Copies of this chain bind each other. A is one copy, B any other.
Amino acid sequence: MAAITAANHVKFGRLEKDLFQLSIDSALPITKKYGDAIDLAIFANAYGGQYNGLSGVNNRLSAELFDVPVPSLRIDNTSSGGATAIHAAKSIIQAGDARSILVIGSEKMSSVPTRQSSSIIASLLDPYERCSGLTLPSLAGFLARMYMTKYGSSRESIAQVTVKNHRNAMKNENAHHRKEISIEDVLSSKVIASPLTLYEYCPISDGSVSMLLSGDEFAQSISSKPVRISSSSISSDTAQVSLRDDIMQLGAVRASSSAALKQAGISTEDVDFAELHDMSSILELVEAEAVGFFQRGTAWKEIMEGSMDPDGSIPVNVSGGLLARGHPIAATGLAQAHEAFVQLTSQAGQRQLKDPHFAISVSMAGFGNSATSIVYEAI
């Protein structure tokens, strides 16, 4: 078993610093204190080549962060790379091949114009579907339309995801966007892929989060308040969205979250809060159903009733989520785990939930092409 023994989150946003320096900023407070206990550094980063023209960054980071450079590697799984890196680190610790592993998740996206950024992200799509003109934002618009048609969801309830997550981010000093907005603001902002508007997509963010994972036998010597990674699971779906039996069913989210809950020996009712992958407003609703918090087709009612608010039955994205905290691709999985860490160790400040014990994070690659779910437990 592995535990999170330290975590550090650089404020997300459009930042001056480059990929390397952002990564140093998030990791150095950890290596300064615990450098001698660390056997491996995993750099979660998807697009350092395409956004920043860089390679071999993991080795440079290791050389800069440690007195004696530790072995390092890069893990990528596009948007879910940070979570996948935690998943792999857990295995390596379980195998007895490292006492503690530093996982650094970083992305520097603002270095290119928005149009080029969209094109870089679209390079993960199935090429046939890309040739059809599909993009991740357009798939989300398509999904929202299906959801509204099939379940009679109101347009407002989808927009409410953005409203809630922006409100939550007001209490998160690391969030990219910290501005309350109303349903009217969301609905009147520029349409990106009908019916969804600008505010219903995560922004283009730079950021870095670092985390120390330790084997159970080493965790207590590093931290008096570690957080257990009870389980993690990764699942895949077709990359070609049109091949899926049911486009509204995020099969990889469902499979990975149910496997993670099962491995942890708990059910959705035991989960005190969740960090979901709200790349777009609609995705939070569909994912909340795929994980099993709500019946299919009902999340839109639940969010209007406040069920996903910090004081609701299942608080979702208390951190502000991708929509407001921001989504520096590979940093996101670690930002989700960071939220679990600070909440479960009562370090979440203004947004602290009352005595949470279990949390789950779901991180998605592509349009559900893959998902990594992690269950966390306070110990």
Q: Interface on A for B, CB 8 Å cutoff?
A: 46-50, 53-56, 58-60, 62-64, 69-78, 81, 84, 88, 90-92, 94-97, 120-121, 123-126, 234-240, 243, 365-366, 369-370
Contact = CB atoms under 8 A, between A and B. Distances in A.
A47 to B, nearest CB: 6
B56 A239 contact: yes
A365 B59 contact: yes
A73 B50 contact: no
B55 A78 contact: yes
Nearest to A48: B49
B69 A236 contact: yes
A236 B77 contact: no
A167 to B, nearest CB: 32
Contact of A49 (B47, B91, B236): B47
B50 A77 contact: no
A76 B73 contact: yes
Contact of A96 (B63, B94, B125): B94
B88 A92 contact: yes
A38 to B, nearest CB: 12
B56 A78 contact: yes
A84, A120, A124, A239: most-surrounded residue (chain B CB, <10 A): A239
Contacts of A62: 236, 239
How many monomers of this chain does the complex have? 2
A56 B238 contact: no
A78 B48 CA distance: 12
Nearest to A61: B239
Given A69-B238, A74-B77, A55 B59 contact: no
Contact of A71 (B49, B64, B234): B234
A121 B126 CA distance: 27
A236 B123 contact: no
Contacts of A94: 95-97
A213 to B, nearest CB: 13
A181 to B, nearest CB: 31
B369 A59 contact: yes
7 smallest CB-CB distances across A and B, nearest first, come from: A56-B124, A49-B49, A69-B236, A94-B95, A71-B234, A95-B95, A49-B50
Contact of A92 (B92, B126, B236, B237): B92
A60 B96 CA distance: 31
A235 B59 CA distance: 10
A54 B366 CA distance: 13
A63 B90 CA distance: 25
Contacts of A96: 94
24 contacts: A49-B120, A50-B50, A54-B124, A55-B76, A55-B78, A55-B123, A56-B366, A58-B76, A59-B78, A59-B365, A59-B366, A60-B126, A63-B237, A63-B238, A69-B238, A71-B235, A71-B370, A72-B236, A73-B81, A73-B84, A75-B75, A88-B92, A90-B95, A95-B95
Contact of A59 (B69, B90, B92, B239): B239
A50, A236, A365: most-surrounded residue (chain B CB, <10 A): A236
B88 A73 contact: yes
A76 B76 CA distance: 8
A76 B74 contact: yes
Nearest to A96: B94
